[in-house]
Structure formats: C-alpha cells, structure tokens
Chains A and B, each alone.
Chain A
Amino acid sequence: MKSTDLTTTNRIIVLVCGLALFVVLFVPLWQIELAAPQYPEGLVLKMYPNKIAGNVDIINGLNHYIGMKTLHTEDFVEFAILPYIITFFAVLSLAVGLFLRTFKWLLGLFSLFVIFGIVAMADFWRWEYQYGHDLDPNAAINVPGMSYQPPLIGYKQLLNFGAYSVPDIGGWIFIVVGLGLLVAVVLQFKHKKQFK
C-alpha cells in the first residue's frame, strides 16, 4: 500500500458521501418559510434541484402587491443543470472511493465541491437580490427605499411577512457531505505524514 492510497476508513467516507448525494436529487435543497398574521398556517417556498415547489402560486399572488416578478421554474437555468452537477459529484465520489483511490483525487473532489458550494450560494444570493430589487414601479404598494430581498440564511422581516431562509434536507446533506470530505482529507493527510 502506497502512502498516497486512501485508507479504508476514508474510502468508506467518500463512498457514503457519493451515495448521499444521489439522495439530494430527490429532496428539497433549501426552503424559505414565510409567516404573516393572515397566514398562521405559514407559507413556504421549497427549492429542489430541478424545481421550485411549495405555495408558489399563493406567494406569486401576494407579491403582485409589491410588484415583484412572479416565480417560475422555467426562468432559472439552474434547475436544468443542477441535477447534472449533483449527479456528477455523486459519480465522482463513488469513483474516488472505488477506483481512483488516491489523495490527489480526494483533494480534487473536495476542492471542486467547496468551489461549487460557494458558487451556488453566490448564485442564490444574486437571484434573491434581483427579485427583491427589480420591482414594478406601478405596484400598488411602493415603500420608498424598501426592497424585498429574502435573507441568504436566517430571518428577516419584509413588510408584514417574516422570511426565514434555511437549508432543507438536501442542503443539510450537502453540508454533511462537505464536512465528511473535509474529515477524509484531514485523516488522509495525517496518514500520509505517518508514512514519512
């Protein structure tokens, strides 16, 4: 066994991460919960890898008061490519765990994954900014200086609605996978040092 070969523990971690990423394809990544006095039951937007779901029609109906554009899955190229990207990471993880069992590949996978995470969040913020600021000037409710950008993560009051943006199941799996890969990287690095 060469010093750069992945340990059995790390191979298992990477394989589990790969399998977990397949699950992400079918569950929501992110959710924005909305609460207002008239909606004690709450409204929710759910971002799946391939669509927006939840109370989309009701939220679109309410957003017309402030002149926000209506939300449609088709308007986001992200929902077309995200499933492929996730599949790519899942397959790559399995490949690293099964065939490409070297530290270099692991490090490569981890780096790509982190970069993807950052790009994805930046993209998400960009959309939130755009929808929150690009308002119809003829809208019925026009509060000077007010924008309606939901928080990237956490809570924010937007007029009568409280918006609470948090990862959903898929998002949490993503975070755990990221951490899992990080652990594997660290363990493998220590393992390599021992050999020297």
Chain B
Amino acid sequence: MKKIIYLFFASGAFLMLIHLSGCKPKNAGDATGSDAAGRTYVPPGKYDELYNFVSGGFSGQVSVYGIPSGRLLRVIPVFSQDAEKGWGYSEETKPMLNTSHGEIPWGDQHHLDLSQTNGEIDGRWLFANENNTPRIARIDLKTFRTTEIIEIPNGAGNHSSPFITENTEYVVAGTRFSVPMDYENGDVPISSYKKNFKGTISFISVAPTNGEMKIAFQMLLPGMNFDLSHSGKGPSSGWFFFSCYNSEQAHTLLEVNASKRDKDYILAVNWKKAAEYVKQGKGKKVKANFAHNTYSESTHTATSKMESEVTLIDVRDFPDLVYMIPCPKSPHGCDVDPTGEYIVGSGKLAALIPVFSFSKIQNAIANKTYDGSYGGIPVLKYEAALYGEVKKPGLGPLHTEFDGKGNAYTTFFISSEIVKWNVKDLKVLDRQPTYYSPGHLTIPGGDTRKPYGKYLVAYNKITKDRFLPTGPELAQSAQLFDISGDKMKLLLDYPTIGEPHYAQMVPAELISKNSQKIFRLDENKHPYVTMGEKNSKVTREGNKVHVYMTAMRSHFSPDNIEGVKLGDEVYFHVTNLEQDWDVPHGFGVKGNKNAELLIMPGETTTLKWVPEKVGIYPIYCTDFCSALHQEMQGYVRVSAKGSKVPISFSLGKNSEAADEILKK
C-alpha cells in the first residue's frame, strides 16, 4: 500500500513537471529560419550587400557594419577622443572637439541621418548628433572622416537631431532639456522652470555643394522635452514633425511628474514658411557663443571658429508657423511614411499607436479645428488630425520605419518585440520577439521616400544571456531580420560598440564607388608638409622644435635627432610619402603623454611631445607597414636645459623612390 501511495505521488509530481514546462513559451533561439546561416554568410573576400551606419551612443563614435554579415568594418571617431587614430590628440584634430566650454574629450552620439536628394539617399554625407553638449557632425563618406562639427547654442540635450529635410536643405536640432536661454541670466531657481526655461529647435542649413553647415534660425518654444523628429516627404515636405513630452513642465522626478497627462504632443513646424520669414529679416538676432569646427581636406587640419550670433524666431509672434497635435503618451518616435501622408507617433507609455494624416492636419489648420492652445501654440483636435489607431500593438512603442510596400515596423521596448502592421488598414500582420528591449530599428532607406525593404535591424538595449558572458559589463546588440516575406525572420545576432540608438542602412554601391583610397601628395597643402626626404629637417623657434619628418617604407626621415632640450615643445609633423592604397604609417614616442599618430598615404599629421627627462627616446612606426616595419625606428636625444648640443638630424641614406613621387 505504501508503495502505491508513493507511486501515486511520484507520478503526480512528474505530470506536474510536464505540464509546467509545456506551458512555458518556446525558447528564443528557435525563431531563426533554417536558411539563416546561408542568408548571412558572406564568403571570405566577398563584399556585403549594404553599409550599416550605427550610432555609438555613449562611445561618442559612429560604427560601420556590413550587412547581412554583421561584420564591423570601421569605427569613425566623431565626438570622443580616439587614441588609436590620434583623433582629438593630434594637433590637426584637437580643434574638432572644441566647444564654447573648451575642448571636450567625450560625447553621446544618438542618431544618424544620411544626406538625401529628392527624398532618396544620395551617399554624400552622414550627419550625427551629440546629445550632451549639443552638437551636430557631418561625416564625409568619401573618406569616412568627420569633416565638420557645429555646436548648438540655447539648448541642452540635443536629442531630436540630426534629421534632415528631403533635399538636405536643413538638418535639425531640438532640446531634450529646456533651459534658460544663453543670452539670459541663467542663475535662476530650478523651480522657476515654467517661467524661465525654454525649448528651442534649430534649423541648420547645409550648403548643397560642400555641405557646410550654418545655423539658419532657431525657434523659441515653451519649456518641455523635445524627443525625436522627422521631416515630411512629398506633399508634406515643407513640414517637420517633433515629438514632445513633459508637457507637464516638471523639473524633478520626471518619471512620475512627466507621465501624468494622457497625451503629450507632436509639434508640426512649417519650416518653409519659417525660412521665408527669416529671409524677410523677421527673426530676432540674439547674442550667442558657439564653436564651428571644420576640417580641411587639403591642409588635413581642423580649425575652430567661435560664432557670436543666431537668428531667433519666437513662435508666439508668428501664429501660422507651428501647431501642436495631441499624442498619447510621452511620445518618442515621430516617423513619416514614404508617401508623406502618414505620421506615426510612438508613445512610449501608450498601448496603441496613433497614425496622423497630413491632409487632415492641413484641413484642421485651415478650419481652425482647435482644442485650446499650449504655451501660445494652437492645439489641433486629436480626432481632427488622426487617421486611425493601431489597436493593441504591444507595450512601449518607440520607433517605426517603413518597407515601401505599405507596411510599418515598430519596436516595442517593454514587450521586447517588433510588430509589423499595415499603414492603410492599421492591422497587425506579424510580431517577432527581440533579445531584449529594442530602442530603434532600421530598414535600408526606411525613413526616406524609397525604402529598399529587404532587411531590418533592431538595436537592443539588453543582451544578458545572448552571448558569452564578459563580467557585469555586457555589449548591446543588433538583430538582423529578413523582411522580404510576409513573416519576419530572425537571421543574426551580433554585439555592437557603445550603445546603438538610431542607425542608417544603404545599398553598398552608393557609397563604395566614391570611397577614396589615398590622399594625393600633390594636393597636400599642410603648412608643415615635407615634400620629399630631401626637405626633411628640424628647426627651432624659441622653445618650439618643429620636426619636418617623412615616412616611407621602411624608415622615417630624419630618424636621428639631437639638440632637443628640457623645456622644449616638440612637434613631429609626419608626412606619409606613400601614394599606394592601404599603406598607412604610425608614429609613437616613448613616454609621450599623448596618443599615436596614424598617417594615411599623402597625409601630414602632427604629434606634440613635451619631454620631461633627459635621455634617449626611441620613436617607431606603430602600423605594420612592410616586411621591414620592425626596422622603421629612430632616436631622439633630449639634453638638459641650457645644454650646448646643437639641433642636428640625419638619416642613413635617402631613398630614391620616396623623392620620386614628389618630382611629379
């Protein structure tokens, strides 16, 4: 009998176990299709189909991946110093990180936008925002280098940026933090937020020929938090849409105090009209102080210029410029579909996705179908602007992009999934889990008039058990989906640098065909260029020692230097005389409290060194350049202050080949 009871309980427990594990949802990894390996395999030596530019978040940089392989191709230094590449360490690049606060070694890079012509990606430039100390950078896609950084005054937390208009007329910046304006007294109680704190959005014009940026005008808005933004397209191309939250105007414990209202807003801006007003001289000029840094390709040198004025438009003075559209609840993403008619707001605390209609918005404006005003700005009636709502899509929608076939794809942070839905009938078509908690997603051309719509990459904030553990600090990740069929298929998981926020993807051909291989020596206009080994020299100007040095496989000229004394500042101006593809040289000095240089063929770069002890200091090439790379070295002698050792320099024998190139 005892045995029977035993058996009874045992089988009961067994059944319960089976039952419970049966209830547990299927494990994640099974979601990949059986052909995923084949779809993401790019054989050795073959190129990826697409470039994927991914924001580096708190790394401050931009990373470049190949898709569909997920291979990291390059990290472009933008807002943070990069000792590896000498970015922010070489004399030429230090000015790029200059701001009105001085030189800042770090930035928080959130979003990217590729330049467009007629609403399509044109492959010329990539724009990147900096959130912490508001800035926008322009990266030249011929060289994959940051060529311009402009600081944005009168704001803080440049988050709704760097989104562009259809023909790259403007790139925008918007303030996440409302603050007192720079031209006002900022020494005010924080509790006077409602009175003294203002928001601004800035329109930065981009010169069509060389891309040079200029703050065309700023719009003065009520104090709140501006989040993401997007330009209209086609019929709506003259408008820009910004999501905003904290319409409660809280200044403390925002997680509670800024989440009280059912609806915040999407701000619709008639930027074409604003540009006209500014052209007519209707803006107000105010004092400002901001850095504008440009990198010259011919001198390989950046200069930082301080600008002193901006044009401000107080929207209360121009009643037909901006309108508020109620949007549930604390919206993040603000995305416009390829036709330009539908505007998708993603309320990060909402359980639905509202889709607004541009034509209905225009009617509501024309008929003044208002629901009061906010800070002097007319608020449109929610229903009058609404096309419809996607019901029960998931929890915590953040960002939406489009495939060009009438479908939208939205990330859901809280329910950790991507949901595909139809823009016309607002029906949910498919949902796939992500691992875990995606912020943004990207589809090639997914925010343009012409999406390429074959892949989708989701960027996850949490990875936990997805990769081999690396201690408490884990990488964030990207997940590649195939969206060519009715159902999305997970193809690949791969870790990313920093924190990936917004990203851009583009067919490779558009970029790769213009990619530069070398800098031409005969176009090098660097003031300290050394055109050939015969011209290499060392000169003294007071306590400044200038070394005009060349690098050529496999020696520096000169490679023996004497006459440097304590108290001197030594500047190594190294010119790489190579004119062949993929032959960079590096340069390092023992004990130098600085980084290395990486000098591309035809380029001149300068490393500063202030020796602090008497002795012999080795110098060497840090980039394995040739079979004789280990021989590419030299010595600098440092003598005591007041020493009689004269400046001298030498190299065993000049190389004929190196001087050859320069004759031409």
Contacts and interface: CB of A to CB of B under 8 A. Distances in A.
Interface of A: 41, 57-58, 60-61, 63-65, 70, 72, 140-141
Given A41-B581, A57-B579, A70-B660, 12 more contacts: A57-B664, A58-B580, A60-B656, A60-B657, A60-B660, A61-B553, A61-B580, A64-B553, A64-B656, A64-B657, A140-B627, A141-B627
Interface string B620-636: 00000011100100000
Given A57-B660, A70-B660, A65 B579 contact: no
Contacts of A60: 656-657, 660
Interface string B548-572: 0000111000000000000000000
Q: Which of B580, B628, B631, B661 is the most central at the interface, judged by chain A CB atoms within 10 Å of its CB? A: B580
B580 A65 contact: no
Nearest to A68: B657
Contacts of B657: 57, 60-61, 63-64, 70
Contact of B627 (A57, A61, A65, A72): A65
B628 A57 contact: no
A37 to B, nearest CB: 12
B303 interface: no
A60 B658 CA distance: 9
A64 B660 CA distance: 12
Nearest to B581: A41
A106 B552 CA distance: 55
B237 interface: no
B655 interface: yes
Contacts of B631: 140
Nearest to A56: B660
Interface string B636-664: 00000000000000000001111011001
A191 to B, nearest CB: 54
Contact of A57 (B553, B626, B661): B661
A113 to B, nearest CB: 35
A72 B663 CA distance: 11
B578 interface: yes
Given A70-B656, A70-B657, A70-B660, A61 B578 contact: yes
A60 B656 CA distance: 9
Contacts of A65: 626-628
Q: Which of A41, A57, A63 is the most central at the interface, judged by chain B CB atoms within 10 Å of its CB? A: A57
A1 B657 CA distance: 63
A58 B601 CA distance: 12
A61 B660 CA distance: 9
A141 B553 CA distance: 13
A58 B661 CA distance: 9
B533 to A, nearest CB: 12
Nearest to B652: A138
Contacts of B553: 61, 64
14 contacts: A41-B581, A57-B657, A57-B660, A57-B661, A58-B579, A60-B656, A60-B660, A61-B657, A61-B661, A65-B628, A70-B660, A72-B660, A140-B554, A140-B627
A60 B660 CA distance: 9
Given A57-B661, A58-B579, A58-B580, A64 B628 contact: no
A64 B658 CA distance: 10
A63 to B, nearest CB: 7
A56 to B, nearest CB: 9
A57 B664 CA distance: 10
B297 to A, nearest CB: 22
Contacts of A63: 657
Given A57-B660, A57-B661, A140-B628, A64 B580 contact: no
Contacts of B579: 57-58
B661 A64 contact: no
Nearest to A141: B627
B418 to A, nearest CB: 39
A120 B554 CA distance: 37
Contacts of A58: 579-580
Nearest to A61: B657
Interface string B575-589: 000111100000000
